[in-house]
Protein backbone atom coordinates (compact mmCIF):
# COMPACT_ATOMS: atom_id res chain seq x y z
CA UNK A 1 0.00 0.00 0.00
CA UNK A 2 2.80 2.35 1.00
CA UNK A 3 4.58 1.53 -2.25
CA UNK A 4 1.47 2.32 -4.30
CA UNK A 5 1.09 5.64 -2.50
CA UNK A 6 4.70 6.49 -3.25
CA UNK A 7 4.24 5.60 -6.89
CA UNK A 8 1.10 7.72 -7.13
CA UNK A 9 2.88 10.64 -5.50
CA UNK A 10 5.76 10.29 -7.94
CA UNK A 11 3.40 10.14 -10.91
CA UNK A 12 1.60 13.27 -9.71
CA UNK A 13 4.92 15.07 -9.31
CA UNK A 14 6.04 14.06 -12.81
CA UNK A 15 2.73 15.25 -14.29
CA UNK A 16 2.98 18.56 -12.46
CA UNK A 17 6.51 19.27 -13.63
CA UNK A 18 6.24 18.06 -17.23
CA UNK A 19 2.68 19.09 -18.12
CA UNK A 20 3.46 22.79 -18.70
CA UNK A 21 6.30 21.90 -21.06
CA UNK A 22 4.23 19.26 -22.87
CA UNK A 23 1.32 21.65 -23.41
CA UNK A 24 3.62 24.49 -24.40
CA UNK A 25 2.78 27.15 -25.44
CA UNK A 26 -0.36 28.06 -23.51
CA UNK A 27 0.20 31.83 -23.74
CA UNK A 28 2.07 34.29 -26.00
CA UNK A 29 5.82 33.97 -26.38
CA UNK A 30 7.98 37.11 -26.20
CA UNK A 31 10.80 37.56 -28.72
CA UNK A 32 13.37 40.16 -27.66
CA UNK A 33 15.07 42.21 -30.39
CA UNK A 34 18.42 43.82 -29.48
CA UNK A 35 17.89 46.92 -31.64
CA UNK A 36 15.41 49.72 -32.30
CA UNK A 37 11.97 49.16 -33.81
CA UNK A 38 11.73 49.61 -37.57
CA UNK A 39 15.36 48.56 -38.17
CA UNK A 40 16.74 45.51 -39.98
CA UNK A 41 16.72 43.04 -37.07
CA UNK A 42 13.25 44.16 -36.07
CA UNK A 43 12.05 43.65 -39.65
CA UNK A 44 13.34 40.05 -39.75
CA UNK A 45 11.95 39.43 -36.24
CA UNK A 46 8.45 40.55 -37.17
CA UNK A 47 8.32 38.46 -40.36
CA UNK A 48 9.52 35.33 -38.52
CA UNK A 49 7.47 35.90 -35.36
CA UNK A 50 4.26 36.26 -37.29
CA UNK A 51 4.90 33.14 -39.36
CA UNK A 52 5.99 31.06 -36.33
CA UNK A 53 2.86 32.06 -34.42
CA UNK A 54 0.63 30.04 -36.76
CA UNK A 55 2.17 26.58 -36.18
CA UNK A 56 2.76 27.39 -32.50
CA UNK A 57 -0.91 28.26 -32.02
CA UNK A 58 0.14 31.32 -30.01
CA UNK A 59 1.20 34.85 -30.85
CA UNK A 60 4.87 35.74 -30.67
CA UNK A 61 5.12 39.27 -29.32
CA UNK A 62 8.14 41.20 -30.58
CA UNK A 63 9.72 43.48 -27.97
CA UNK A 64 12.60 45.83 -28.73
CA UNK A 65 15.37 46.27 -26.18
CA UNK A 66 17.62 48.66 -28.09
CA UNK A 67 21.13 49.28 -26.86
CA UNK A 68 24.26 50.34 -28.72
CA UNK A 69 25.93 47.15 -29.94
CA UNK A 70 22.83 45.09 -29.10
CA UNK A 71 24.29 43.69 -25.86
CA UNK A 72 21.32 44.26 -23.55
CA UNK A 73 18.75 41.82 -25.00
CA UNK A 74 21.02 38.74 -24.82
CA UNK A 75 21.76 39.54 -21.17
CA UNK A 76 18.04 39.86 -20.44
CA UNK A 77 17.24 36.59 -22.18
CA UNK A 78 20.07 34.87 -20.32
CA UNK A 79 18.43 36.00 -17.05
CA UNK A 80 14.83 35.27 -18.11
CA UNK A 81 12.88 32.31 -16.75
CA UNK A 82 13.82 29.31 -18.92
CA UNK A 83 10.23 28.29 -19.69
CA UNK A 84 10.03 28.85 -23.44
CA UNK A 85 8.11 32.12 -23.10
CA UNK A 86 11.11 34.38 -23.67
CA UNK A 87 13.31 33.95 -26.73
CA UNK A 88 15.94 36.07 -28.49
CA UNK A 89 16.58 36.92 -32.10
CA UNK A 90 20.11 38.07 -32.79
CA UNK A 91 22.62 38.29 -35.60
CA UNK A 92 26.37 37.97 -36.10
CA UNK A 93 26.75 40.23 -33.03
CA UNK A 94 26.48 37.06 -30.91
CA UNK A 95 29.79 36.03 -32.46
CA UNK A 96 31.57 39.40 -32.61
CA UNK A 97 30.76 40.89 -29.19
CA UNK A 98 32.93 38.40 -27.22
CA UNK A 99 35.97 39.82 -29.03
CA UNK A 100 34.79 43.43 -28.77
CA UNK A 101 33.67 43.74 -25.14
CA UNK A 102 35.96 43.07 -22.24
CA UNK A 103 33.06 42.95 -19.79
CA UNK A 104 30.31 41.20 -21.71
CA UNK A 105 27.63 39.99 -19.29
CA UNK A 106 26.63 36.89 -21.24
CA UNK A 107 28.48 34.01 -22.85
CA UNK A 108 27.00 33.08 -26.25
CA UNK A 109 28.39 29.55 -25.95
CA UNK A 110 27.24 28.81 -22.40
CA UNK A 111 24.14 30.79 -21.47
CA UNK A 112 21.64 29.77 -24.14
CA UNK A 113 19.70 26.98 -25.75
CA UNK A 114 19.79 27.16 -29.52
CA UNK A 115 16.72 27.08 -31.75
CA UNK A 116 18.10 27.56 -35.25
CA UNK A 117 19.49 29.78 -37.99
CA UNK A 118 17.06 31.98 -39.91
CA UNK A 119 18.58 33.81 -42.84
CA UNK A 120 21.49 35.68 -44.34
CA UNK A 121 21.27 39.38 -45.21
CA UNK A 122 23.79 41.29 -47.35
CA UNK A 123 24.79 44.85 -46.57
CA UNK A 124 24.94 48.01 -48.66
CA UNK A 125 27.22 51.02 -48.58
CA UNK A 126 24.87 53.99 -48.68
CA UNK A 127 25.20 57.75 -48.23
CA UNK A 128 22.88 60.70 -47.68
CA UNK A 129 21.15 61.77 -50.88
CA UNK A 130 23.13 65.03 -51.14
CA UNK A 131 26.48 63.23 -50.85
CA UNK A 132 28.82 64.67 -53.51
CA UNK A 133 29.78 61.43 -55.33
CA UNK A 134 28.01 59.85 -58.28
CA UNK A 135 29.72 56.43 -58.12
CA UNK A 136 31.95 54.33 -55.90
CA UNK A 137 35.18 55.73 -57.30
CA UNK A 138 34.13 59.29 -56.52
CA UNK A 139 32.77 58.16 -53.15
CA UNK A 140 36.10 56.59 -52.23
CA UNK A 141 38.04 59.63 -53.42
CA UNK A 142 35.80 61.99 -51.45
CA UNK A 143 35.79 60.08 -48.17
CA UNK A 144 39.55 59.59 -48.26
CA UNK A 145 40.17 63.26 -49.02
CA UNK A 146 37.76 64.35 -46.26
CA UNK A 147 38.38 61.68 -43.67
CA UNK A 148 38.53 64.15 -40.79
CA UNK A 149 35.03 65.42 -41.36
CA UNK A 150 33.11 62.55 -42.98
CA UNK A 151 30.87 60.67 -40.51
CA UNK A 152 29.99 56.99 -40.54
CA UNK A 153 26.80 56.03 -38.70
CA UNK A 154 26.48 52.66 -37.00
CA UNK A 155 24.48 50.88 -34.31
CA UNK A 156 27.34 50.75 -31.81
CA UNK A 157 30.28 48.45 -31.24
CA UNK A 158 29.15 44.89 -31.96
CA UNK A 159 26.43 45.80 -34.45
CA UNK A 160 26.50 44.51 -38.02
CA UNK A 161 26.91 48.09 -39.25
CA UNK A 162 29.91 48.43 -36.96
CA UNK A 163 31.48 45.20 -38.20
CA UNK A 164 30.96 46.16 -41.84
CA UNK A 165 32.31 49.68 -41.25
CA UNK A 166 35.33 48.28 -39.45
CA UNK A 167 36.12 45.88 -42.29
CA UNK A 168 35.55 48.62 -44.86
CA UNK A 169 37.84 51.07 -43.05
CA UNK A 170 40.49 48.36 -42.80
CA UNK A 171 40.13 47.50 -46.50
CA UNK A 172 40.54 51.10 -47.66
CA UNK A 173 43.03 51.91 -44.88
CA UNK A 174 41.17 55.00 -43.71
CA UNK A 175 39.57 55.80 -40.36
CA UNK A 176 36.42 57.87 -39.97
CA UNK A 177 34.56 59.51 -37.20
CA UNK A 178 31.82 57.04 -36.23
CA UNK A 179 28.46 58.04 -34.77
CA UNK A 180 26.78 55.24 -32.74
CA UNK A 181 23.01 54.78 -32.47
CA UNK A 182 20.82 52.17 -30.73
CA UNK A 183 19.96 50.60 -34.05
CA UNK A 184 20.17 51.56 -37.70
CA UNK A 185 16.53 52.70 -37.75
CA UNK A 186 17.45 55.91 -35.86
CA UNK A 187 20.75 56.05 -37.80
CA UNK A 188 18.77 55.93 -41.05
CA UNK A 189 16.59 58.82 -39.85
CA UNK A 190 19.68 60.96 -39.38
CA UNK A 191 21.11 59.84 -42.72
CA UNK A 192 17.84 60.84 -44.41
CA UNK A 193 18.00 64.15 -42.57
CA UNK A 194 21.59 64.68 -43.74
CA UNK A 195 23.05 64.80 -40.19
CA UNK A 196 25.46 61.92 -40.92
CA UNK A 197 27.19 61.02 -44.18
CA UNK A 198 27.30 57.31 -44.78
CA UNK A 199 26.59 53.90 -43.39
CA UNK A 200 26.97 50.21 -44.13
CA UNK A 201 23.60 48.66 -43.38
CA UNK A 202 21.57 45.58 -44.11
CA UNK A 203 19.38 45.43 -47.22
CA UNK A 204 16.43 44.73 -44.91
CA UNK A 205 16.73 48.39 -43.85
CA UNK A 206 18.04 50.04 -46.98
CA UNK A 207 16.18 48.50 -49.94
CA UNK A 208 13.13 50.77 -49.86
CA UNK A 209 15.23 53.91 -49.30
CA UNK A 210 17.52 52.97 -52.20
CA UNK A 211 14.61 52.16 -54.51
CA UNK A 212 12.84 55.42 -53.73
CA UNK A 213 16.07 57.36 -54.28
CA UNK A 214 16.17 58.76 -50.77
CA UNK A 215 19.75 57.57 -50.26
CA UNK A 216 22.66 56.95 -52.62
CA UNK A 217 23.86 53.34 -52.83
CA UNK A 218 27.41 52.63 -53.96
CA UNK A 219 27.97 48.93 -53.34
CA UNK A 220 26.72 45.68 -51.86
CA UNK A 221 28.87 43.51 -49.59
CA UNK A 222 27.79 40.10 -50.91
CA UNK A 223 29.90 38.00 -53.23
CA UNK A 224 27.26 38.14 -55.97
CA UNK A 225 24.97 41.06 -56.75
CA UNK A 226 21.71 41.08 -54.80
CA UNK A 227 18.84 39.99 -57.11
CA UNK A 228 16.47 42.68 -55.76
CA UNK A 229 19.13 45.40 -56.27
CA UNK A 230 20.66 44.25 -59.59
CA UNK A 231 22.23 47.61 -60.54
CA UNK A 232 24.42 47.92 -57.48
CA UNK A 233 27.92 46.44 -57.91
CA UNK A 234 29.66 44.30 -55.30
CA UNK A 235 32.68 45.68 -53.44
CA UNK A 236 34.65 42.79 -54.90
CA UNK A 237 33.75 43.93 -58.45
CA UNK A 238 34.75 47.47 -57.48
CA UNK A 239 38.25 46.39 -56.56
CA UNK A 240 38.05 45.42 -52.87
CA UNK A 241 38.87 41.83 -53.74
CA UNK A 242 37.39 39.21 -51.44
CA UNK A 243 35.35 41.71 -49.41
CA UNK A 244 32.26 39.83 -48.27
CA UNK A 245 29.97 40.38 -45.30
CA UNK A 246 26.62 38.66 -44.86
CA UNK A 247 24.67 39.04 -41.66
CA UNK A 248 23.12 35.84 -40.35
CA UNK A 249 20.31 35.64 -37.79
CA UNK A 250 19.52 32.99 -35.21
CA UNK A 251 17.01 32.26 -32.46
CA UNK A 252 17.98 31.50 -28.85
CA UNK A 253 16.30 30.67 -25.54
CA UNK A 254 17.64 30.86 -21.97
CA UNK A 255 19.78 27.93 -20.86
CA UNK A 256 17.61 25.25 -19.27
CA UNK A 257 14.51 25.86 -21.42
CA UNK A 258 12.76 22.45 -21.52
CA UNK A 259 13.40 20.35 -24.61
CA UNK A 260 9.71 19.97 -25.53
CA UNK A 261 9.46 23.77 -25.76
CA UNK A 262 12.64 24.00 -27.85
CA UNK A 263 11.32 21.25 -30.14
CA UNK A 264 8.08 23.17 -30.69
CA UNK A 265 10.02 26.36 -31.45
CA UNK A 266 12.32 24.56 -33.90
CA UNK A 267 9.30 23.02 -35.68
CA UNK A 268 7.63 26.46 -35.84
CA UNK A 269 10.80 28.07 -37.21
CA UNK A 270 11.01 25.41 -39.90
CA UNK A 271 7.37 25.96 -40.85
CA UNK A 272 8.02 29.70 -41.06
CA UNK A 273 11.00 29.22 -43.36
CA UNK A 274 8.93 26.97 -45.66
CA UNK A 275 6.22 29.63 -45.92
CA UNK A 276 6.10 31.14 -49.43
CA UNK A 277 5.13 34.59 -48.10
CA UNK A 278 8.13 34.61 -45.77
CA UNK A 279 10.47 33.59 -48.61
CA UNK A 280 9.05 36.29 -50.86
CA UNK A 281 9.26 38.97 -48.16
CA UNK A 282 12.89 38.03 -47.49
CA UNK A 283 13.70 38.05 -51.22
CA UNK A 284 12.10 41.49 -51.66
CA UNK A 285 14.37 42.73 -48.87
CA UNK A 286 17.49 41.15 -50.39
CA UNK A 287 17.65 38.39 -47.75
CA UNK A 288 17.76 34.63 -48.17
CA UNK A 289 16.14 32.08 -45.86
CA UNK A 290 18.48 29.27 -44.83
CA UNK A 291 17.65 25.72 -45.89
CA UNK A 292 15.80 23.76 -43.20
CA UNK A 293 18.81 21.69 -42.18
CA UNK A 294 20.33 24.91 -40.84
CA UNK A 295 17.22 25.86 -38.89
CA UNK A 296 18.20 23.47 -36.08
CA UNK A 297 19.82 23.88 -32.64
CA UNK A 298 22.88 21.84 -33.71
CA UNK A 299 23.47 23.92 -36.87
CA UNK A 300 23.19 27.23 -34.98
CA UNK A 301 25.48 26.10 -32.16
CA UNK A 302 28.12 24.83 -34.57
CA UNK A 303 27.93 27.89 -36.82
CA UNK A 304 28.06 30.30 -33.87
CA UNK A 305 31.23 28.63 -32.62
CA UNK A 306 32.82 28.81 -36.08
CA UNK A 307 31.85 32.50 -36.39
CA UNK A 308 33.37 33.30 -32.97
CA UNK A 309 36.58 31.59 -34.12
CA UNK A 310 36.45 33.44 -37.44
CA UNK A 311 35.79 37.00 -36.24
CA UNK A 312 37.86 37.02 -33.03
CA UNK A 313 41.29 37.31 -34.72
CA UNK A 314 40.02 39.68 -37.45
CA UNK A 315 38.55 42.06 -34.86
CA UNK A 316 41.64 41.89 -32.67
CA UNK A 317 43.75 42.79 -35.69
CA UNK A 318 41.47 45.73 -36.57
CA UNK A 319 41.75 46.79 -32.91
CA UNK A 320 38.55 48.55 -31.83
CA UNK A 321 37.09 47.61 -28.46
CA UNK A 322 34.49 48.62 -25.93
CA UNK A 323 34.47 48.02 -22.19
N1 LIG B 1 20.74 45.18 -37.11
C2 LIG B 1 20.76 46.36 -36.28
C3 LIG B 1 19.42 47.01 -36.20
O4 LIG B 1 18.43 46.32 -36.31
C5 LIG B 1 21.80 47.29 -36.64
C6 LIG B 1 23.12 46.65 -36.87
O7 LIG B 1 23.35 45.50 -36.48
O8 LIG B 1 23.94 47.32 -37.45
O9 LIG B 1 19.32 48.20 -35.99
Looking at the fold, whether 139 and 205 belong to one and the same domain comes out as yes
Query: What pLDDT was estimated at residue 323?
Result: 46
What would the pLDDT profile of 216-265 be if each residue is shown by its tens digit?
A: 999 999 999 999 999 999 999 999 999 999 999 999 999 999 999 999 99
Residue 232 lies in a domain: no
Residue 152 lies in a domain: yes
Residue 16 has pLDDT above 50, yes or no: no
Nearest-atom number in ligand 1 for the CA of 183 is 9
Looking at the fold, whether 39 and 61 belong to one and the same domain comes out as yes
Looking at the fold, whether 107 and 132 belong to one and the same domain comes out as no
Query: What pLDDT was estimated at residue 3?
Result: 57
Average predicted confidence (pLDDT) for the chain: 93
- The alpha carbon of 97 and the centre of ligand 1 are apart by a number of angstroms equal to 13
Nearest-atom number in ligand 1 for the CA of 201 is 8
- The alpha carbon of 269 and the centre of ligand 1 are apart by a number of angstroms equal to 21
- The alpha carbon of 185 and the centre of ligand 1 are apart by a number of angstroms equal to 8
Q: Which of 220, 237, 267 is the last residue of a domain?
A: 220
Residue 238 lies in a domain: no
The average pLDDT across 286-295 equals 97
Residue 1 lies in a domain: no
Global pTM value: 0.92
Nearest-atom number in ligand 1 for the CA of 36 is 9
Looking at the fold, whether 281 and 300 belong to one and the same domain comes out as yes
- Protein residues whose CB sits closer than 6 Å to any atom of ligand 1: 35-36, 39-42, 91, 155, 159-161, 183-185, 202
- The alpha carbon of 40 and the centre of ligand 1 are apart by a number of angstroms equal to 6
Query: What pLDDT was estimated at residue 318?
Result: 76
Residue 20 has pLDDT above 70, yes or no: no
Helix/strand/coil (H, E, C) string of the chain? CHHHHHHHHHHHHHHHHHHHHHHCCCCCEEEEECCCCCCHHHHHHHHHHHHHHHHHCCCEEEEECCCHHHCHHHHHHHCCCCCCCEEEEECCHHHHHHHHECCCCCCCCCCEEEEEEEEEEEEEEEEECCCCCCCHHHHHHHHHHCCCCCEEEECCCCCHHHHHHHHHHHHHCCCCEEEECCCHHHHHHHHHCCCCCEEEEEHHHHHHHHHCCCEEEEEECCCCCCCCCCCCCECCCCCCCCCCCEEEEEEEEECCCCHHHHHHHHHHHHHHHHCHHHHHHHHHCCCEECCHHHCCHHHHHHHHHHHHHHHHHHHHHHCCCEC
Query: What pLDDT was estimated at residue 15?
Result: 47
Tell me how many domains the chain contains: 2
Domain that holds residue 180: 122-220
Residue nearest to atom 2 of ligand 1 (CA): 183
CATH of the domain at 200: 3.40.190.10
CATH of the domain at 43: 3.40.190.150
- The alpha carbon of 35 and the centre of ligand 1 are apart by a number of angstroms equal to 6
The average pLDDT across 86-104 equals 95
What would the pLDDT profile of 184-226 be if each residue is shown by its tens digit?
A: 999 999 999 999 999 999 999 999 999 999 999 999 999 999 9
Amino acid sequence: MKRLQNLLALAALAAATSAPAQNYPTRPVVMLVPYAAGGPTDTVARVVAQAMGKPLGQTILVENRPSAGGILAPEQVKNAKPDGYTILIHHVGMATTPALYRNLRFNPLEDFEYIGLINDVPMTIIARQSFPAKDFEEFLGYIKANKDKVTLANAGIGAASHLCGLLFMTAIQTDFLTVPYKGTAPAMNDLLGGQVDFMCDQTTNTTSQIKSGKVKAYAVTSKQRVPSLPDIPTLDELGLKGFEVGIWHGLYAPKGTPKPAIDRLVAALQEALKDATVKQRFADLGAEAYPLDRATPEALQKFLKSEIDKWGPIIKKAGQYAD
